[in-house]
């Protein structure tokens, strides 16, 4: 699957990591120009208010925003996920977060769960160029024999 030079990036951050994501985006604003963004509700509103970056808002994570992003990943609409997780805080929607990370793996999209990984992703030559992303072959999975 061809991924354009201008990526569609999903941005998510747990409450204790929203400020870190905002600071990271400010630091990398020049690299972010020209890309399209989706974000879960609270994260997206914070980005819009603090930076003015154009973001398509989805629901808040606990209200289904993580699942909306997951659906967009499965439909091939998201090229990259930047999700600043808070590993020290229990989340009421932890199963949604795990499902989102799992879908990213299933559909072979790059994921950054912290600042260092996000730095590596946007430093890659693939970030600003076209990229041929290998899609998994699910033919045998889809054609499996399901007992009646």
Catalytic positions, please? 66
* Close Cβ partners of 83 (under 8 Å, ≥ 6 residues apart): 10, 11, 12, 13, 97, 100, 101, 111, 112, 113
110 touches 121 (CB < 8 A): yes
Beta strands in the chain (DSSP E): 2-3, 8-13, 36-39, 56-57, 80-84, 111-112, 131-132
d(CA 119, CA 15): 20
Residue with token string 């819009």: 48
């Amino acid at each position: 699957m061809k991924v354009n030079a201008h990526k569609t990036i999903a941005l998510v951050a747990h409450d204790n990591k929203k400020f870190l994501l905002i600071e990271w985006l400010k630091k990398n604003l020049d690299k972010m120009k020209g890309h399209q963004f989706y974000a879960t509700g609270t994260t997206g509103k914070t980005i819009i208010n603090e930076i003015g970056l154009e973001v398509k808002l989805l629901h808040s994570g606990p209200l289904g925003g993580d699942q909306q992003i997951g659906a967009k990943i499965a439909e091939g609409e998201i090229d990259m996920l930047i999700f600043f997780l808070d590993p020290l805080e229990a989340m009421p929607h932890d199963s949604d977060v795990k499902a989102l990370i799992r879908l990213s793996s299933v559909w072979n999209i790059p994921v950054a769960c912290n600042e260092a990984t996000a730095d590596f992703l946007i430093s890659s030559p693939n970030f600003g160029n076209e990229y041929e992303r290998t899609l998994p072959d699910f033919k045998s999975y889809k054609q499996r024999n399901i007992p009646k």
